[in-house]
Structure 1
Amino acid sequence: MKTFKWAVITSLLLALVSIVPGHSSAKFQFSDISPSKEYYEQVHYIAELKIVNEADKFNPGDKLKRAHVAKMLVLASNNQNFSAPDMHFKDLKSGTEQYDFASKAVALGFLQKQPDGSFKPNEYIKREEMGYALSKAFKLSEEISVEKPLMLRDMKSHEYAKEINGLYYAGVTQGDAGNFLPNDYLTRSQFALFVARALNDTYKLPVKLPEQTSRTYFAKVVTGGDVLNVRHLPAVTGNVIHKLNDGEIVEVIGQSGDWLVVLVDGKNGYIHGKYTKEVTVDTPSDGDVAIDTPEEEPEVDEPVIEEPEVTEPEEEVDNTPSLSGLVGKVTASSLNIRKTPSTSAAIIGKLSAGQKVEVLSLNGYWAKIKTSSGTGYIHKNYLKLTNQTGNPLKGRIIVIDAGHGGKDPGASSNKLTESTVTLNVAKRVEAKLKKAGAQVLMSRSNNTYLTLEQRTDFAKKNFAETFVSIHVNAAGSTAAKGTEVYYDSSTNPNASESKQLANKIHNSILKGANMVDRGVRDQRFYVIRNNNVAAVLVELGFITNSDDFKKLSSDQYAEIYAEAIYQGLVQYYSAN
């Protein structure tokens, strides 16, 4: 992690070496700030950097003046040697310290000269002007977009909206109950917190992104006959990008306050939740593309979008090594057998749910199987592949998805983030699976950000056979605790297999980690409902519960969780 955004002058480096987050080792202490104050460490941190003067008192509750902001931001951004052009302020004398820092702050664009030619160094500064100055000093301005909507409601029509938006997504401020309070005055302690967060990642606040990991569902527009605007931002000031008629149904993939994130024509937009009602919609599975006939059940065939390219569809081309002792059990009600690995190839037979076949080789999504009349090809997604000898996981393509990451830390408590816990456990699962001979694929192996779509696309691109997403729970009540595992039956064509896998992993975690049983649940989480193989989402425990937190923050239990997930996969692949 890069700790500093700007180089700090050489004379300060030695002073920084002894600073340990959570335990300030400043050589002095302001007499009017006790260690119990939330800003204690940050104030002494910026004092160590000489951004504020070491003195007997800091006066944390005093209102901040424009002269203070000018000096502190010039120093914090390492611009003390910046050569500012000569300026005339009618209330500042050239050659003074206040003039020097004021002229630099104005020339750098942090603060503005007053219309009457004054600087007003002793005027108290409001949060709006401070926010603008801080954003400019640390280059934190952030355009308001669907990906980074304005989360502070009272800034939606403000001239500094994008600057304050930048502070929010940089972890500098979360405002007060969803508002920034631009016209309030700022105290010295508040500004110290902001500057420390801008300088050092240790002090940053976790960024709360619009909800994108919750279940997805369908909502019906209920307006009493009026049209409903779809906007590009979660606010009435957002541009209208589409209109929905009363009674129309849309898919909801997230939420930002009272606004719902919906998919319209393949793009994200926002509608106000007040004018919607959740509904149940039957959606055909991605693989159900064969034509129904009155005489037979719907067939499951290979999805066209995932069809391997074959230059000569009438001729078998298979250079993959043959397999020994691999059996596939059909998981669809009816599965076509093709002459060659192509959706346009002739159908030479059909298989029924539960039927087992000998698998001769695998090539991408295609499984070459032995039939009574020779060989044929079927789509691998609708087979549960089991080894008849050796480790049941050998050769299986398993995606381990560590939830959250990067700019999305997930739930947090006592400086422990969900993204850290999930990656720790995921890497341990990876090691165990590799040792067993599985082809294990990690959606992320470091602290990077991935969208939900990127995670499911990754699984499909790599011909995954199972998908396990690892998460940590959180709740408003500290009493909530325990493990729960989810599968999806709304659109995932392998819902039955997903449920079996969920039960195996769930029971293994309960036994291994002695967790409270919160059950196996059917829910429309994005990464499992948009998968077409056995896919589960594991909630290890509640980071907001003291008992679960002790386990989630422990490497010993990270190993126990990983072993439990591994054993759950072993049990799933061992079952016929």
Structure 2
Amino acid sequence: MSRKGCILSFVFILFLSLLAGNGQVASAQSKFPDVPSSAWGHKEIHLLKDKGVITGHSDGTFRPNNTLTRAHGAVIITGALGLNGLKVSNPTFPDVSLNHWASAEIERAVQQGIFTGRKDGKFYSAETMNKAQAAAIIARAFNLSGGASSSFTDISSQHWTLKEIVALEHNGIVEKGGRYEPGKAITRAEFSTYVARALDPSFRLNQSQPSNETVQFQGEVTVSSTLNVRLGAGTSFSVLGNLKGGQKVDVYATQGSWYKIKYVNGWGYVSSSYVKKVSNNSNNTPNSVLWDRIIAIDPGHGGKDPGAVANGLQEKDVVLGVGLELNKQLQSAGAKPVLTRNNDTFVELDQRAKIANDAKADIFVSIHANAAASTAGNGTETWISASSATKSESKDLAEKINKRLVQELGTTDRGVKEANFKVLVQTNMPGVLIELGFLTNSKDAALMKQSNYNSRAATAIRKGIEDYYSSK
């Protein structure tokens, strides 16, 4: 091959690598410009981007409507599962040589039983994947199961991927009803969105939301490693995640040999054999310092107002995640939280204050994330109104929340500050405005991208509120 031919071949291989997320040219520190917040699958696609599973093209675009090849699918799936490529001395398939750009990922995906070759012994790496094939691959990769019949009108009881498509429906990976179009080529957006939903249960669809059912008792996980949390009461149901040994759980019901618990944004089930009863009551009792407290939670920004944007993060997304987790924790502690927004919508500042005042909230907690012209700016700070009639109480609340956040997150303590923010001035109760950290600082941003960040930040805020009431 000529020198020019070698260069063109290398460029083409690099292009394919980027397309599947195998390259590192495109930065993972920004959003894809062609996948705006209004786009279907926006959050799921950017979850994979933030995890480094997909990177996009060298121009920063994702090209969501492009189709996906089998090689691309193998790279994305192995990346999502955290599997390294498998180097072999002899290729499994005659059409996937050792110098093929995705050889290692294809070999690993086949070794794991996620992909299979064809009857003729070939892999067909450049062949476009269709939606039926994608369903089979995702169901195998994440061990998804459940259900016997499909809601899709074009999936018969004899379809070769009936079981896998139903598994995706049952586990909230695909939208139910209408036509699935199994023979249609799957797009990059579709495949990435489905993989992200399988990877992170909080993105799954149609998960039943826990109501304020009565906690029967508190249990403790007794396994030495981890205990699977399943979608239903039985081992035939898919695994949503796991709990660590020693972790406490509130048990809401007993179904045979399984306990029903709250998990992520829905119900989960764990084997009763590995959970011991430690108390008849959880913290959801009248003895809790938060019992019956009306607490207004105000996740800042939203909708058309993203707030600060930096390092691949939008302020509105960060604070909503923390706010929703705080809402769950306060409910579990017996409080009566009120959210000014519970999804990606824009709410005027006046309306936020009105929601809190109309609810006759005991305290008001507005959650934000910071930004600065200098990337060196970092840390956590909490603001109160300088002119509020409840300034003394607000300061006490702010100090206790800020202290807990710094302790839990390990951020720089920027202290309690005063300013006449509108939401603090117009609310009638003690109120604080939290700046969790700086999106413009790489260290703070990396912390916010961690999978347990919402839980850690919300726990710190809840504990700060408990400290406030315990001191009264």
Name the TM-score class by shorter chain. Answer: 0.3 to 0.5
User: TM-score, normalized by length of structure 2?
Assistant: 0.42
User: TM-score, normalized by length of structure 1?
Assistant: 0.35
Q: Which has the higher contact order (CA 8 A, sep 6+)?
A: 2
Structure of larger gyration radius: 1
- Higher share in helix: 2
